[in-house]
Structure 1
Amino acid sequence: MGGLYRWAQNSAATSKQITLIAALAAVAAVGRVPFAALPGVQPTTFLVIASGFVFGPQVGFIVGATAALVSNFFLGQGPWTPWQMMGWGLVGCSAAFIKKYWPGISRWAMAVIGGVWGFIFGWIQNLGFWIVYIQPLTLKSLLAAYLASFYFDLAHAVSNVLLMILFFPAVIRVLDDYQQRLHHSYSDHTIEQ
């Protein structure tokens, strides 16, 4: 996990960009806490996807990983935390690559991708659960772990789909606008040689 954070930090971030990352991670973390009573509903995934989509893979990864770490100060830290950090970090990275290779993607296609990530994120968590808590480590016990969480993963996928359909274009417009202002603000103050 440390190596991935180091990779994400290797971009030359300004103080404004660091503040932006902290704010996005905080919103994603706080957005998770009230939904803890609804198993599988994770608006954090939506916000992490939007962050990575607009600001790139490093920001997407840091927002996702940090949101998991910070929200778990409220919901409980444990051996699942690194798996959640990895899962949401990968969600953020993948969104950046989706934008790069499919820049005109529709909200409907993003809804499908959000739904798929609902299951993939769950599978990452299940793998961690299986490794840490299940004995013996057999294919049968792995499949049992995956089957036990199916409805939670389905709820996560459905909530991602709904959030993408309802809010993705508006949130992307707001974040794109902020990115443009951030870029212009930064580039307007560069020193010419």
Structure 2
Amino acid sequence: MENSLKKNHSHFSVRDICFIALLTAACVVGRTSFQFIPNVQPITTIFIMVSLNKGFGRGFLLAVLTIITTNIYMGMGPWTMTQLFAYGTIVLLSSLLGRIPSFQRHKSLQLIFAFGAGFLFGFLTACGDVLIYGISAFWPYYLQGVYFDLLHATGNFIFYLLLMSILPRLFSKFWCN
């Protein structure tokens, strides 16, 4: 009975917690290192890869820890909630796509998704901003930021190309299932 409960109950091992802490540190360094280029940072790519390979729980925990930690340094405000909402959605979609074998096998589909996630992030944060700040004209507000979404999408694509052969191997070597 106890083994069946452990099997069905998702929990984090000490090894999981250590690896999430290391990835959080890497994400914090990655986001702050690239802050001079608007919307270009490796964190979206890392969140996607963790969620594809290790599921929603680990991906979302990593996203929350990264956003809270970096926003303490870069500035905390109402936008933190919109960032968490947008990244939570991307992590959820990534973990669902990770259950599809053909998506797991085809790196080109993952690259397209990573690119699209840049635009999805911008759209979702704009939706949140409209609600939080009471902006009455959504589309003009959103369209002003599409250039930054393109930068985010392009950065995601490049970081995915750079990390797609490295991170999954690290996950399988050092991270418990």
TM-score category (smaller protein): 0.7 to 0.9
Q: Which amino acid aligns with 1:112?
A: I
Cα deviations by residue, 1:105-156 (Å, 9 ceiling, x for unpaired)? 3222111000111000111111122222244x3xxx1001110100000000
8 Å contact from structure 1 (residues 66, 85) kept in 2: no
Q: How far apart are the structure 1 equivalents of 2:158 and 2:133? A: 32
Question: Structure 1 residue 163: deviation in Å?
Answer: 1.6
Specify the alignment match of 1:107 in structure 2. 107
State the 1:90 CA deviation.
2.5
Are 1:165 and 2:164 counterparts?
no
Residue 82 in 1 paired to residue 81 in 2? yes
Shift of 1:70: 0.9
Which whole-Å CA distance do the structure 1 matches of 2:89 and 2:55 have between them? 12
Runs of 4+ deviating beyond 6 Å: none
For structure 2, the residue ranges without an aligned partner over 5 or more in a row are 1-8
- In 2, distance between residues paired with 1:91 and 1:27? 19
- Indicate conservation of the 8 Å contact 1:32/1:71, yes or no: yes
Find the aligned partners of 1:143 and 1:17 in 2 and give their Cα distance. Answer: 41
1:16 and 1:177 map into 2 onto residues whose CA distance is: 12
Q: Please give the alpha-carbon distance, in whole angstroms, between the structure 2 residues aligned to 1:96 and 1:26.
A: 22
CA distance in 2, matches of 1:165, 1:144: 32
- Counterpart residue number, 2:36: 37
**1:92, distance to aligned residue in structure 2 (A):** 2.3
User: Match for residue 4 of structure 1?
Assistant: none
For 1:49 and 1:63, the matched residues in 2 are separated by 10
In our comparison, the structure showing a higher alpha carbon Rg is: 1
Match of 2:49 in 1: 50
Query: Identity over aligned residues, as a percent?
Result: 26
Equivalenced residues, count = 168
The more displaced of 42-51 and 124-133 is: 124-133
TM-score, with length taken from structure 2: 0.86
